[in-house]
Structure 1
C-alpha cells in the first residue's frame, strides 16, 4: 500500500516538499516564503528529492554562509572572490566594503542581451574549433598522400641502386616516416584539444541555460565576471595550438646530374672485365667502347669545369671594375649631398611618431621588427624642408580592441596585414629579430 503524502505543517493545505528544523514539514509555497522572507533567514531548510517531488534549485543567495551557517551568504567580496554574509562583512571584511556587492540588489538580474551575447560567442568559438578540426583532418589526409608518394619514390630509388645504397634509402624513409609521424601527432593533439574545448563550451552553455531556467542570477553574474577572460583564454589556446603544431610537407627531389655520375661509377666499379689476349670475338672492342663512353662523360665535365674557371676569372676582373665604379659613385654622391642637402651643417628637425600594437605574440614580433628597421636606419628620411619623416612604414594610433571579449579592431587587423609587407620591402623579416630585445629603448642620433 502506498504511503500517504506528508502535509505542510504551516498552511495544512499543500503536500510537503521539504522540511524546516523550526517549522517542520513545509509545502512549496511555504518553502518559498522561507527562502525569501527575512524572518526565516535563521531557519535551516531541507528540500525533499523524491520521485514525485522535483528538487527546487536555489540561487547562490539562498546558500548558507560557511562561517555562519544560520545566515545566508548574500554578499560577494570582489577583493577576496568569496561569498559572505552580513556577519562576515562586519567582522572579517570591513575594509572591503567598497568592493562588496549585494546580490539581492534589484540591479543584479538575468540580462537577456548578455546571455545572448555569451551564447553567440560560444557559437563563434565552436565554429572556430570545428574549422580547425576539419582543416587538421584535411591536412592529415593530404600530407599522408604526400608521405606515401615520397616513400614510393624513395623505394624506387632504392631499387634502382639496390644494395649499394640501402643504408641511404633507409635513412630517407625513416626521415619521411618521422615527419609523417609528427604530422599525425600534431593532428592528434589538435583533435584532442578541439574535443576538450567543444566539451567545455557545451558544459558552459548548459550551465547558462540552467541558470536562466532556474532564475539563478547570482550564479550567472559570477560566471559573467570571468566569462570574457575564459573566452579570451580559450581563443589564445586555439591560436597557440594552431601556431605550435604545424603540418609539414615532404618533398623528395633527385639530383639527376649526380645520379648519372653515380650510375656510371657503379657500372665502372661493378662491371666485370674479362681480359682477352689475341681474341677476335669482339670482347675487347666492347670493353673499349664502354671505357670510351665513360671517358667521354668525364671529358664533358672537364670542359664544363674549365669554362667555369674562365667565367670566375672574368667575374673577378668585372668585380674589380665594379669596385672602381662604386668608388667613383660614392665620391659623386658625397659631392652631390654637400651641394643639395636640405639643411647642410644644421640640426635636422624631427617629429613624434606614435604607434600602438596589441600585447600578444604577434604584436611583440611586429614591435621587434619595427625596432630592427629603426636600428638599420630604414624608417626615416629627410625631406626638402629639413624635417625627419617616415619612409614607407605605417604606424597605428587608434583603438587596438573593439571592446567586448577583446576582439581586435578591424582597422588594427588591416594595419597588421599591411605592416609586414612594408617591413619586408625594406628587407626586414622575422629572422632579423631577437626574442631577447626589449620592447622599449632610447636611441641617440648624431649626438643631437
Structure 2
C-alpha cells in the first residue's frame, strides 16, 4: 500500500487543472507530486518508535524531503502548491541547502514561491519542508512542488520524478528502482549448481534492503535487512500457478518443502507471485563476504528440486536453508542472476549497494565454469526514468550494484560488463557432504 505522508487529497489531484493557462511561449512548469516523491527524513523520537512517520503534518520535529532530478545545468524557480485548512502557519523550506521561511494561510490552494536553485550539473534536487508555528491542526496540505526552469535554455530542461500513481507508481517509485545482473552461463551440458559471493560495504545496508545473490528462473536466494535488529537469509521458489494469493494455488501446483535446515522457518509467500518461502534469522554483517550455493535438478518424476545452502563463516560449514519440490517442472538451473532492491517504501531515499564476485556454475558432469560476464538491467520504475538513482557494472574482480539515495551518477541499463577472472578462487565443495544434497536424486 502506497505511503501518503499525510498530504491529503493531493495524490489524485491534477495540479495543472488548478492554475490558469499559461502563454505558449512561457517556460514549462513541472509539477512534482508529493505522493511519489517525498519522504519523512527526520522525526521525533516518539514517532520513530512508532515506525518513523506521522500521517499528518502537525509536528515541528518532522522534516519531509522532496526529490526530483534535472537533466542538465539549470536555474530553477521553485514554488509550493499548498493550502492551510485552518488558521495560519509558518514553515521553513530548505532548497539545496539554503533555508527560507514562509507564512501560509488560506483554505484555497495557492502557489507559494520558495526561491531559486542553481544546478551546475545534472543531478537530484532536494527540498526540505519543516513546520515552525501553526494555529490550526496541521501546518498545511501540500499537493506538489512547482518547478519552472529559467534562462535561454529553459525549454530544453527535462525533469525526472514519479509523475503519476498509475499501477501504484507512487508506492513502487518510493521504493526506488530494482536492478539486476544477469550472468552468462556456459553452453553445452546443463547447469546443476550455481555459486556466488556477496559483500555489502559498511554503511550500505539500510533497513529494507534485499541483496539477492543466487537468482534462477523460478526463484531467488540472498540476504535481507528486515529491521534494526533483524537480518535474514531468504530462499524462495515460485509456484508454476500464477497468482499473488497462495490460497488460490491448486494442490497439484503447490511448492512442497522437502527439508529445511536447523532453525530455518518454512512457509508460503504471496504478493509478488506465490510459492514456497524459507528464511533463517542470521546476523550477517556489512563488510564481510558471504557465500551462496544452489542446486537445481529434475527428480525424474515430472518435478524439479531446488536446494539452497549458505556458508556460515563462524562454523566453517555450509548451512542448509531449504529444499523445495516444484511440480510440473522438468529442468536444470537457468537464468542465473542477482538483484538489488528496497522492499520498504519509507526507506527509498537511502542508498544501498553491494559487490558480487567469483561466480561459478557446475554442470551435470561435475565440471566448474566461471561466469565473468553479466548484463545490467532495471525494472519499470528505472526504465520509465521515474527514478534514475541506480548504477551497476564491474570493478576489478567484482560486479557492483547501487540504488536509492538520489545520487547523480546513472548507468544506462542493458549493458554487458566483464569482471576480471578469478581462477584461483574456484569453489572446492564436496557435494556429497552437504545436508539435503541427496533429496530428489
TM-score interval, smaller chain: under 0.3
Q: Which has the larger radius of gyration?
A: 1
Higher strand residue share: 2
**TM-score with structure 2 setting the length:** 0.19
Higher relative contact order (CA 8 A, sep 6+): 2
Higher helix residue share: 1
